[in-house]
């Protein structure tokens, strides 16, 4: 099997201050983690908070700290450092080859979709009913073939709200069901484009879509990295 990862991200329209920060790291004992964070300071989006927190989580995971412990440590330190004035919406999505599990760690109510093709395209999502921003919930699933996880930032979740046409999660995920053979990058791009369209082409918040798929490997075991960075 192989792990396929795609990220599609767009910054808030007409804003130099970004909130979303996303990083990818290889885990020290095999596998990969994607860390997505959106920071705020005094209620305003803060690129500095996002970047600092995500990089701290990344560093702890690289040292072998478990995802849940790493996230709790960073969230607690952030609160103490900024005297409760800093906030962080944090998601960690990991394929842990050592434990043969997919781990999802999150401290926010934005759904994360799990798509298992061997279960009649069943779509489920995780959403914490009782959320403690300092104590993320950790979900664990076995790594299996044809397993796709789609993770969003809250900019996607709030798309269209300012125009009276809020995002409907079911409609968004029909993209996947209608075209199950889409590559992970095309899937991420299409989901992001749908969210941007709800904001009439001008995102009112940073938007990020992360897709991870475990699939049967075809051909030689070649590692590939592809990135497009607007400047």
Instruction: Please write down the HEC assignment for all residues of 129-176.
Output: CCCCCCCCEEEEEECCCCEEEEEECHHHHCCCHHHCCCCCHHHHHHHH
Centroid of chain to Cα 231: 22
Beta bridge pairs of residue 207: 10
Least confident segment among 45-54, 138-147, 214-223: 214-223
Residue-wise burial string across 132-153, b where 16 or more C-beta atoms lie within 10 A, e elsewhere: eeeebbbbeeebeebbbbbbbb
Average pLDDT rounded to a whole number, residues 114-125: 63
Residue ranges per domain, the chain?
Answer: 2-215
| pLDDT of 39 strictly over 60 | yes
pLDDT digits (tens, 9 = 90+) for 17-31: 667 899 999 999 889
| pLDDT of 226 strictly over 80 | no
Average pLDDT rounded to a whole number, residues 146-165: 89
Query: Could you tell me what percent of the chain has a pLDDT over 70?
Result: 87
Tell me the C-alpha distance between 32 and 3, whole Å. Answer: 8
pLDDT digits (tens, 9 = 90+) for 56-73: 999 999 999 999 999 999
Q: What is the pLDDT of residue 127?
A: 58
| pLDDT of 53 strictly over 90 | yes
Q: What is the pLDDT of residue 120?
A: 47
Tell me the C-alpha distance between 186 and 209, whole Å. Answer: 11
| pLDDT of 15 strictly over 70 | no
Query: Could you tell me what percent of the chain has a pLDDT over 90?
Result: 47
| pLDDT of 152 strictly over 60 | yes
| pLDDT of 7 strictly over 90 | yes
pTM given for the model: 0.89
Closest CA to 75 of 54, 102, 101, 45: 54
Q: Which fold has domain 2-215?
A: Phosphatase 2c; domain 1 (3.60.40)
Q: What is the pLDDT of residue 170?
A: 80
| pLDDT of 129 strictly over 60 | no
- Residue 119's CB is within 10 A of a number of other CB atoms, namely 13
pLDDT digits (tens, 9 = 90+) for 157-214: 889 888 888 888 888 877 777 777 788 999 999 999 999 999 998 888 889 999 999 8
């Amino acid at each position: 099997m192989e792990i396929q990862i795609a990220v599609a991200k767009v910054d808030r329209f007409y804003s130099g201050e970004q909130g979303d920060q996303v990083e990818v790291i290889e885990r020290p004992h095999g596998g990969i983690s994607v860390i997505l964070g959106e920071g705020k300071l005094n209620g305003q989006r803060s690129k500095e908070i996002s970047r600092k927190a995500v990089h701290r989580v990344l560093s702890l995971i690289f040292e072998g700290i478990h995802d849940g412990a790493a996230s709790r440590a960073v969230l607690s330190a952030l609160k103490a450092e900024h005297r409760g004035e800093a906030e962080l919406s944090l998601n960690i999505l990991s394929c842990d080859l050592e434990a043969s599990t997919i781990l999802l760690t999150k401290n926010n109510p934005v759904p994360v979709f799990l798509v298992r093709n061997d279960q009649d395209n069943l779509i489920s999502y995780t959403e914490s009913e009782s959320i403690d921003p300092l104590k993320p919930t950790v979900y664990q699933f076995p790594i299996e073939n044809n397993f796709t996880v789609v993770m969003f930032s809250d900019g996607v979740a709030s798309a269209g709200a300012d125009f009276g046409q809020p995002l409907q999660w079911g409609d968004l995920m029909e993209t996947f069901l209608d075209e199950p053979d889409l590559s992970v990058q095309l899937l991420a791009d299409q989901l992001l484009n749908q969210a941007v369209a709800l904001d009439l082409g001008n995102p009112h918040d940073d938007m990020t879509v992360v897709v991870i798929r475990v699939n049967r490997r075809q051909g030689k075991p070649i590692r590939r990295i592809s990135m497009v960075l607007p400047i």
